Each structure stands twice: as C-alpha cells, then as structure tokens.
Amino acid sequence: MTHSSTNAKTTSFRPIIGIDLGTTNTAAAYIYKQSPRMIQLKNGEHMMPSVVLLDPSDKVIVGDDARSALVAMPNRTKAAVKREMGEETLISLGEKSFTPEEISAFILKEIKRVADKQLGEGEKEAVITVPAYFTNQQRQATKKAGELAGFVVERIINEPTAAALAYGMQNLEENSHIIVYDLGGGTFDVSVVEMMDGILEVKASAGNNQLGGEDFDWLVVDWLSEKMIASTQIDPREDIRSKARLKEEAEKIKEKLSYEDTVNIAVPVVTVKNNSPIGLDATLNRDEFVKLIEPLLLETEEKLRQVLSDANLKATDIDEVLLVGGSTRIPQVHQLITSFFQKAPKKDVNPDEAVALGAAVQAGLKSGALSNSGLIVTDVAPFSMGIAVLDNMRSRAKPGAFHAIIPRNTTIPVTRTESFTTSEDNQTAVSIEIYQGENDWVKNNYFLNEFILEGLPAKRAGEEAVDVTFRYNLNGILEVTAKSASTGNEMSVTIEDAIDRSSEQAFQDSMTKVEAAYEVEDQDLAEELNLFDFTEDVPGESEEPLEELITDAKEWKKRFSKELHNCDGVSKEELEQVMMLIESALNSNDPALLNKAIERSIDLAIDLEI
Ligand code: AMP
C-alpha cells in the first residue's frame, strides 16, 4: 500500500460538469481555476439547440443540424422535448419511437461527447438543472436521461437556484435579497433568494412548467394562421410541414420584435394548393404581439406576488432582479419588472449562460473544486406534498381531503413524520395516496403514487396509529414510508417508482437502444443536410444592420475560439479578453458596442496574424 494515490486525490478533482438541459437550448459548464467556465460546443458556441433528428439513414443528429431539418423533416425531428419529460408517451422519429428520456439522452450524449474531448475521457459526473416547478416525475425523467447518456447524475438542482449561485459566486460579499425571474423556451420559474455572508438561501419558489417562449411562438402561429384563413380559407396548421414552417417563422418574428417595433412578414410558400404555392404577407407590430402574450405575462406577475408573499417580503425589499432565460429579452418583460419593482433588472447577467454556470458552481462545491469559496446554498420544495385523508371538519367525514406533510417552500432536505389513526373498526390495512399541490382536495392536486400498508391489528376506529414519514432530498425526490405504530411493520415507496416501475432490465434495454441509435461521426453534417433542406429564402428581404453586426460578431467569436487552442501566454489572454468583449456586446445588442467589438477583433486578428 502506498500513499501516493492519496496525495494525488487531494490535489485534483473529478471534473463534475453542470448542464442546463433547456427546452430550446442546452449548455454546459465546469470549474476552471476556481470559476465556472462554459464548455465550447460545436463551432465554439456556448449552447446548442435541444433538437434531435433521426436522419434518413437512421442516424441521430443533435443540435444546429437537427434544428435546420425541423421544417424539411418534421416527422424525423423533435424539438422542445423537455415539455414532455415525465410523461408516459412515445415520440416517433421516422419509423422508430423513443421516450422523452431517450430523446433527452441523445442531447446529453452530445454534451458528454464534447466534454470527454475537452476535459478528458472517462466516467463523468453531472449536475443537471430543472425548472424549480418541475414535478417529481419530471425530475426523475431528467435524472434517467442523464444516466442513459452515460453520466453519473450527482445532483438535480433548480434552475433559478443555479442562476443565483452563478451570481452569488461573483458577489460573495453582498448581503441582499434577489429575485430570479427565469422565462425560458418552455418553462417559467421565479425564486426569492437571500444572500447573507456567503450563504445563499432560497426563500420561496413558484412557477409554471408549461409557460415559455414556445407558447409565445404558438400564439404568433395562431395569429398568422388566422390571417391566412381570412384571405385563403386555408388553415395552415392542418398540414404538419406548413405548421412547422410557420412555427419557425413565428419564432423569428417574435425575436425580431424584441429589437424592432414592426416586422413585415413575407413567406412566399407556406403551403401548396392545387399545385400552386400559397404564401403569406402580413405586418405585426410590438404592441399587437404584446397583446397576444399579455395573459401569460400577467401570470408571471401573479407568481411574483405569490413568491414575495410566501417569503414575507415586499417588492421594495428586493435589491436585485436577475433575468434568466432567452424569453427575458422581450422588452415587455423588462417593463413588467421595472414597473413591478420600481427598478431595472440587473444587466450584467448573461440570460443564456447563468444556469449552466451556476450548475457548474454546484458541481464545484460538490467535487471540492470550490470548497474554499465559502459559498453555501439551501433550497426549498416548491410545492406542498401530502396524503389523502378524511375531512373530519364536517359532521359527516368526507374522503379525499389533502393533508400536506411537507408544505411548499420548506427548506430541503427535509424529513417530516405525522401520525394518523384508522377510520373504521377492525381496519387492518391503510391506503397511502400521495399527492402534490396546494388545493384542499386531492382531486385538484397532482397524484404521485399510492401503496397499501397491511397487517394492522384489528382494533376500534381511531385506536391504531400509522406514522407517515416524508423524506424530500436535495434532488427534489420524495420517499414516503408508512409504519404501524404498534407492530413496527413498515412500507415505503420512492416516487421514482411511480413513473419507472421498470426493472433494471428495462433501463438497460433503453440504454442499448440509445447507444445503438447515437452513432457519432466527427464530420460536419450541415452540407449533407442541405440536400433535404428546402426552406425558401424570402426574396427581396434584406438583412437588418443590427443582425449583420450580430452575425459578424458571432463569426469572430467562432474564429477566435478555434484559435484559442493554438495560442498561449499573452496572445491567449488577448484572445480571451476580446472574446469577452464580443460576448458582452452580443448580450447588450447595442450596435455601438458590437461595432467596437468587431473593430477590436479585426485589430487583434491582424496583430496575431490569424
Ligand atoms: P432558453 O430556454 O433560455 O434557451 O430560451 C429560449 C427561448 O428564448 C426561445 O423560446 C427563444 O425563442 C426565446 N428567445 C431568444 N431570444 C429572444 C429574443 N431576442 N426575443 C424574444 N425571445 C427570445
């Protein structure tokens, strides 16, 4: 036996990576020299579309190339699979079908492949983020997707908590109350976080796991379809390819409306009738768009009120508002925040990267890479969890009342036990029905699982006690145990079992299926895909100057990130500095900053002869 390996362990840490598995995009980060750093994905990008394509030769393709195929091959592509996580559904890609976990596993496998390349091959642990408002089922499905992709899933953490962690790392000295308003592609979350002497405590969370940019896109699709119906009596949503084309168009229109007041829409071919192309010409302005999405934005405002009230705070107690998620680029969101809190949201947080960076911070705290940071984080259960009981408040007891054992916003991990008694004479079994939600009646809450504890001694009603224990862990996964007080007999269930009653064999089968379909080839498939991509160019529509600047800046970023590997010392530092400048110019969308960043890029490229 030697001590050398022990020494090695104390100085090097397993690189656990943090992954933001988003509805629209996926990004990952790791800890490098005590701070979180994004993993460079294809072409040096920091995120990739969460889109999966099963190409005509049945090969799985993930990311940009899959996204390019969305319109051309709607039957072979899947976007926004996160919205179906935890559901028992099968998604068809071509002739094959996959569960939402398997599709997500393809996305995560792509991350793993890149991480293996950049951080070294071998077993990889991961912290994966989920919306705070994800249910147990959705969390379990995410964990399973990570495992199917070949990760050891260390922890599932809440997205707003991750964003707060990224912010906390940069502002360790600050004592403040912050709001994280996270509006992404598919989900909305809001959390109140207290930062005090390096301790980051989530006080309350609320949200809607089915509210996000995707819904805005569909509202625009409906608006466009109504226009078409009015002029042509054809509903383009009835054809899968036309629908996909309008959805793609709707997202572009929506994003343009974040920078422009009016967007002219000219789609030469939406659908075809009697062999003639049918197009669409329309104009949508920002006010009309805001009207479309207003009910959803008002819902987010309602949740802001709820978290503040749950945390016993007023809007004026909030020191900073962090905006996370791509949909927070909508100017109306800024206005909503500014008028609600009477202060503008914080500008220096990158809404696309904060969650992955924060997941990496959590990973670093776990692996030891950041153990000296002094940062500690605590989180809460975002919803109440409990069991069905008899409602004894009335003269005649009524079944189906909800009794919360872990009320929402309880700090986790938490274990709570409560005692219940039998309700009938000679009752020898009790059914434990587990629900989550906030309603007084279980039928309005979300059913999680049930089990029966048998073998109770036959006694008179109310004389036999059963202790029910709820354990909710840091991954947000619940375990419930029921124990007969007199016999000590007990039974427990993990909510995992509710969705995944499958055996280890079923998991292995899924893993084999994912591995067989995901066959990596390190070649750029974009050109090959163009063969199938017959989306039309809109004639006569010229690029906007701002978009040109954005495209140029992105090109420089790509070019420099490729060069990073060939440089060291001062050149590398200069490259990193200019890349940071480009990054912040891109985030600001300010033409002056973008111009400045491009000028610096040109100068540097000349200096370094690259
Ligand atoms: P995320 O899930 O955080 O990656 O956010 C993706 C969502 O943000 C998608 O629905 C995008 O369409 C949306 N998004 C990205 N940029 C903008 C923008 N400039 N304006 C409005 N929505 C945007």
Residue-wise pLDDT for 123-136, tens only, equals 889 999 999 988 88
129 lines ligand 1 (CB under 6 A): no
* Ligand 1 atom with minimal separation from the 186 CA: 2
- The closest residue, in CA terms, to atom 19 on ligand 1 is 255
Residue-wise pLDDT for 518-536, tens only, equals 876 554 433 333 322 223 2
Query: What are the beta bridge partners of residue 436?
Result: 385, 446
Whether pLDDT at 432 is above 50:
yes
pLDDT band (50, 70, 90) for residue 607: low
More reliable by pLDDT, 501 or 180? 180
Q: Round to whole Å and give the CA distance between 121 and 208.
A: 38
Q: Report CA(425)–ligand 1 centroid distance (Å).
A: 59
pLDDT at 404: 96
Task: Provide, rounded to the nearest whole percent, the portion of the chain with pLDDT above 70.
Answer: 90
pLDDT at 570: 67
Q: Which of 29-43, 100-114, 265-279, 523-537 has the lowest mean pLDDT?
A: 523-537
Whether pLDDT at 202 is above 50:
yes
> What is the sign of the dihedral through the CA atoms of 595, 596, 599 and 601?
negative
* Ligand 1 atom with minimal separation from the 257 CA: 20
Whether pLDDT at 500 is above 70:
no
Q: What is the pTM of this model?
A: 0.79
Q: Round to whole Å and give the CA distance between 429 and 480.
A: 16
* Ligand 1 atom with minimal separation from the 214 CA: 10
Q: Round to whole Å and give the CA distance between 492 and 435.
A: 15
Whether pLDDT at 473 is above 80:
yes
Task: Provide, rounded to the nearest whole percent, the portion of the chain with pLDDT above 90.
Answer: 61
Whether pLDDT at 542 is above 60:
no
- The closest residue, in CA terms, to atom 17 on ligand 1 is 255
In sequence order, the 6+-apart residues with CB closer than 8 A to the CB of 405 are: 385, 386, 387, 416, 418, 468, 470
184 lines ligand 1 (CB under 6 A): yes
251 lines ligand 1 (CB under 6 A): yes
Q: What are phi and psi of 589, to 5 degrees?
A: 60, 25
- The closest residue, in CA terms, to atom 7 on ligand 1 is 185
pLDDT at 568: 75
Side-chain half-sphere CA neighbours of 125 within 13 A: 16
24 lines ligand 1 (CB under 6 A): yes
pLDDT band (50, 70, 90) for residue 8: very low
pLDDT band (50, 70, 90) for residue 265: very high
Mutational test site, ligand 1, from 81, 249, 327, max ligand atoms within 8 Å of CB: 327
- How many other C-beta atoms can be found within 10 angstroms of the C-beta atom of residue 203? 19
Whether pLDDT at 216 is above 90:
yes
- The closest residue, in CA terms, to atom 3 on ligand 1 is 325
Residue-wise pLDDT for 290-347, tens only, equals 999 999 999 999 999 999 999 999 999 999 999 999 999 999 999 999 999 999 999 7
Q: Report CA(248)–ligand 1 centroid distance (Å).
A: 13
